[in-house]
Structure formats: structure tokens, C-alpha cells
A and B are shown apart, each in its own frame.
Chain A
Amino acid sequence: MIQEMIQEMNDQSIIEPIIERLNRVFEDISGLSGQSMRIMEVCGTHTRAIAKSGIRYLLPQEILLLSGPGCPVCVTPEYYIDIMISIADREDVILVTFGDMMKVQGTCFSLSDKKAQGAQITVVYSPEDALNIAAHHRDKLVVFVAVGFETTAPLIGVTVKQAKAGGLDNLFFLTALKRMEPVIRFILQDERNKINAMICPGHVASITGAEHFRFITEEFGIPAVVCGFESQDIAAGICRLLEQLTGKRDKKFVNLYQRCVTPNGNPIAQQMINEVFDIADGEWRGIGTIRNSALVLNDQYRYLDAVKRFEIKNEQYSSPLNCLCSEILLGLKLPKECRLFGSICTPEHPSGPCMVSSEGACAAHFKFGGDGKNG
């Protein structure tokens, strides 16, 4: 199924008409000189896909693609990395994490630094691997670093439930799960960024349903599309948005990713989130606290919370950033406008959150030269 889908998406007979359509839209736009169009993609995977497919190279100067705060690794606060590190420092702990969390810098260290110093840190692909690790290391306390958006939350929910059902008393969860809708509202309420249109997070929409994002058009009056992650998906999405922005089509909310996203999403996954998590205020690295933007373990499962188990004093603070990541995440600046970009701040030695994960705006621009013809 997946293979067929990818073969289909790489089929030039599908790609070429989209490029032709994109070119026609650009011709129309060339008549609207001086009018910039600011399109934000919120999802980190879109950010990476846009940079990787070189789409900016095809776009005229007037069209700016802005990268939002949809990289879960990038927006995990610095103090949370410090908590992970303080837990990993314990000899009786195995810390289990997704791979792209390893390089994120806390105040002084990253998990990679700690692993090199001998801390027991295991990289896994699936949250469920934490169950096996806990079952095979009953003499250790196993802590799973649960970072992500609604896409990851259901899988973590399943793991939490299985830990309880299986009576695993040595597995705990350090959660930094985020919700997408509150941060989108936060961005769109900021009039400074002048966002004209939005590419909605396809992965999150596969769980929440496309309708979850209709508010973007209905409340904020801008066109929005849910689109997939292949280059032609994104090009088709940009085409649709530009056609609306130039008046060739009515402004409306469109789901272009119907092969994966239904209007109402995945009810089982949604139920899993509701069963295991409560909604709480969440802190976003580089942005600050956003109301109702986090998912935390609910009363029934709070005893599995690593912060509670290790009695960590949860002193939240936001250290000032020396870079422009805050403005970049909010659509106010481009990576190339930051004086640290590519010099002091690189993917190997990130100064700010946007350079941390391959899905961060700065890292994607740095790696793939995202600015193309736009300079």
C-alpha cells in the first residue's frame, strides 16, 4: 500500500501537470507586482519537504513560505531538556527517546553529550519499544521521553495504558506533548506576521480530522489547505492557495490530502488521547506559554509521570534566545535574516530551537538551501 502510494506520487505523469499549473499561476501573479503573499506551513514535516524538494526555487519573489512552530523537538523548552538530563544522570535509570531528541541542547548539555559520558539512553522508533525495555530491565527505572503533537499522542496513550494493564511498575513518562490548534490561533491572532494563507498539518489532521482546521478560514478569513508531504502535494496546495488569493477561486478551506485525512479523523486515536490525557497550558520554546496547548497525563495515569516519580521541581523559565527563532516560529522573520544562521548556529551546534531538528525551519533551510531564487 505504502509502496504503491509512493510510486504513484513519484510518477512524472502526475508531477508534470502540477508544475504546469504552478507555472500558470505564477504567470497570473506576475501581474500583481509588489504584492507579497505570505503562506505559512505549520507542520515540521512540510517544512522539511518544502526545503528538500526545492520548491522555493520555483517560486517568484512575491511568494514567501514561512515555517511555523510544528517541529515538536524544536518547541520543547530548554528546561525540559535539563529535566531529561537530570533523570538520565541517575544510575538506576534507562532513558528512552525518539532519535531527533538526542541533539537538542539544554542549558549546558544534550542527551547525545550525556550518552557519550556513559548515561543509559536508548533511541527507539516506537513508544511501544519502551514497554519491552522496561519488561527486560526490571531492576531499572525506564523513562520514556514523550514528545510530539496529536500525531504521536495516541501511540503514547496506548503505551501508557499497556504499562498500567501489564503492571509495569518501572516505566514512567516524561511528557511534553503539544496541541496544534491553540498555537495556530496564537499565530493568526498576531497581526504583525500578516499571514495570507495556511498549509495545515497533514499528519495532525489524519488524527483530528480535516474539519478540525476549518476555523482558520471561517474565523480568520484566510484560505487554508490540508496537504500531503510529497513535493507535488505541496505544489498542488500552493497552487490552490494562490488561486484563492488571486481571486481565481473563492476563499475556502480545502482538504487535498483525502487519501490519508478524513473530515473527522481517526476516532480510535482521538478516544485514546481523551482517555489518557488532560488538556493543560503548555510552554513552547521560543514562544512562551500558550493556553490549553499541552497534553498531560490525567488523574488516572498521573502516577506514571516521571516528574512526579522523581519529585522534580518543575521550575519553568524561558531563557532568552540570542537568535531570531521566536520571530521565525511566529512567521515574522526568515531564517536568513538571523545573524547567527549558518555561522555560529548550525545543525551540529544549534543556538536556537529552529536549528535543532531536521524539521526545524532553520535546519531545513541550512541543509537544503531553502531560499532558492528568493535569495
Chain B
Amino acid sequence: MAEKLDINIDEKINLAHGDGGVDTQGLIRNLFYQYFDEPLSNSMPDSFVFEAGQHKLAFTTDSFVVKPLFFRGGNIGKLAVCGTINDLATAGARPLFLSAGFIIEEGFSMEKLHLIAKSMSDICQETGAKIVTGDTKVVERGNVDGLFINTSGIGIVSDNYHPQQAEPGDEIIITGGIGEHGTSILLARYDLGMETKLTSDCAPMSFLINGLGEHLKHVKLMKDPTRGGIATSLNEIAAEQALEVELNEKAIPVKSEVDAIGDILGIDPLYLASEGRMLIVAEKGWGEKMLHQIKALDYCGEAQIIGRFTSGHQGMVSMKTLIGGKRIVPILEGQMLPRIC
């Protein structure tokens, strides 16, 4: 079986294989799909949607190995519950039930575990989801870095949501400022000693399903821009839809702190994770109406139309820059690493 793989079997797994970019996709397509069932569509959806009696349900899973465990505006527990709820939301589903699996390092603080569990409970209360099953393993010191969490979720898909192929002219909305989660993590990880009020954008997005009301019918697809940020998510969308995505740099909401910290570290906010934002593809002509409605929702005051589909270069994301130039926005390749000078 191994000789069929379109990968080098002498290669070792490295960190880039888990970053959500080119290497992760290669690993999934070229290794896992050799053994597991491929998704029914050609894309790699965040949730699997299936019919059960009268209803359509969505099912998803995600593991969280974030470092540090606590960051400005959240912790690994909040992230784990929001992440799974948001993956369900991309399928137009309201969350029903979640599972939570904990792998805990011997010696981990009980107080921290308490705080993490409480924040998971808080998000569940806010969204109506329930954690109904789980698992706990404790491993010897050094075998994990503090705490890893896996969450799975099942949700019920709204009758109003019917994902469709995008067409030229369809508009792309982001529900708020980009990269605030990624920047908060960088601030904690590199201990930059900067005074800022910036907090993670980590939030559950399931309220969009009801909040969009009838407008949900004019949403063609949704994607949460987590690993690899909006650049990577939009590249995936452009490739799936076989269209060009043309962004307008001026319209992309980026907090000045995110810009400044990214600039210092040499990391582009377009690639920084947003854990409480959604990219929404609105049917041509519906963008402004939808934007008006979205801006009134929780966490969405800074929503903007940031670009549109064109029939230009298939699968490419380009951007009209602030100065009027044009450039490619490529997919994230490898790990983002702080630069030298």
C-alpha cells in the first residue's frame, strides 16, 4: 500500500504538517485518504453533513494543542469548544451535543483545569450546546505539554442553508477584525512586553445561523479562518470554487495592534488565526444587505466586505494593495516564524 503514496515515506513528520497549509493538505490527501474514506465532495470540509430522518446533521472533530494554554481573552478550553461549534456553524448547523477528551500531564494544576472546564461550560451555556460525553487520560510528566483537548460535535443544519458553487461577482464578508487570536498567542509566546488592550477574538459563531435569518438563503458558503488565517482559508475557497478571489486591502479590518505586532515579528496578519470570525460568501448583490444585518450581531461590529470572486486566474487569491498595486496572496507554506531584522 505504501508504494502508492505520493509522498516520500522516508520523510519525517515536522511541525509544518500540522499548520493547516500546503503540507497538512498533502498529508491528508496523500496519506490519510489512502486509508480512510474521502469526503463525498472534492473539498476537505470542516464538518461532515448527513441526513438522519427528517433532519440534516453535521458532525466534526478537532484537537487543541495550543501553547500557551491561557492567553489574552481565553484559554484552551474556550478555544476547544468555540472551535468545534464554529466548524459546525460553517455547515450552517446549530450545535447540539459535544464530546470533550482531555489528555493531561501529571502535575498539571487543578486550579487551571477548573478555569478551563468553567470556560467550556460558559460557552456551552451561551450557545445551547451540551457536553454529553468525554474521556480523561493522565500521562507521565513530559509526555504532553500541560494539556491537550479534543472536542467533537454534532449539530442540526438549518433548513435555510444550502451551500452552492460561487460565481463571479459573489461577495466575501469577514465578520470582524482579523488575526486578533493569533496575535494574542504571539504576544504570550514571545513575551514581547508590549502594553496593549488586544484580546483574542475567540468566540462561538453559531448565532450567525439564526442571526442571518432569511439572508442565510443567500449565503453560498462559510469558512472559519483559523489555522493559516484568511489567506489560507481564501486560497482553499478559491481552489474549491475554481475562481479568483480578489481582495481589497483597504477594506480588510485589521486592528492597529495586530498590524504593529505583526510588523515587528515579520508575520502577516492575513496568516494569523482568527478563532471567532467567519468568512461568508454572499450571493452577488446581497453583500451590502447581509453586511448591514451582520454588523448588528454580537462580535460582528467590524464586519466588512473584503473582496469578491472573479473569473480571472482560477484558484488564485490576489489583493489590490493600499497603494493601488496588485499582488498575489499565497497559501501559507510551512510554519510562520519570526524574522531576524
Contacts and interface: CB of A to CB of B under 8 A. Distances in A.
A90 B265 CA distance: 29
A116 B339 contact: no
A290 to B, nearest CB: 19
Given A3-B256, A358-B266, A99 B337 contact: yes
A57 B327 contact: yes
Interface in A49-75: 51-58, 72-73
Interface in B227-267: 250, 256-257, 259-260, 263-266
B131 interface: no
B134 interface: no
A115 B326 contact: no
Contacts, number: 132
A341 interface: no
Given A53-B325, A148-B340, A6 B259 contact: yes
B14 A115 contact: yes
Q: Is the interface of A mostly helix, strand, loop or mixed?
A: helix
Interface string A1-28: 0110011001010010011000000000
Given A7-B256, A116-B13, A348 B334 contact: yes
B327 A369 contact: yes
Interface string A293-325: 000000000000000000000000000000000
A372 interface: yes
A232 interface: yes
B164 interface: no
Nearest to B255: A3
Given A10-B322, A54-B319, A348-B22, A44 B260 contact: no
B339 A55 contact: no
B293 interface: no
Contacts of A368: 327-328, 330
Given A231-B325, A235-B323, A369-B327, A100 B12 contact: no
Contacts of B15: 112, 115-116
Interface string A355-373: 0011100000011111010
A84 B21 CA distance: 27
A101 interface: yes
A6 to B, nearest CB: 5
24 contacts: A6-B256, A12-B322, A15-B322, A19-B323, A53-B321, A54-B325, A54-B326, A57-B327, A58-B323, A58-B325, A98-B340, A99-B339, A100-B337, A101-B340, A125-B265, A148-B341, A203-B341, A235-B323, A346-B333, A348-B22, A366-B330, A368-B327, A369-B328, A370-B327
Interface of A: 2-3, 6-7, 10, 12, 15, 18-19, 44-45, 51-58, 72-73, 98-103, 112-113, 115-117, 123-126, 147-149, 151-152, 203, 231-232, 235, 346-348, 357-359, 366-370, 372
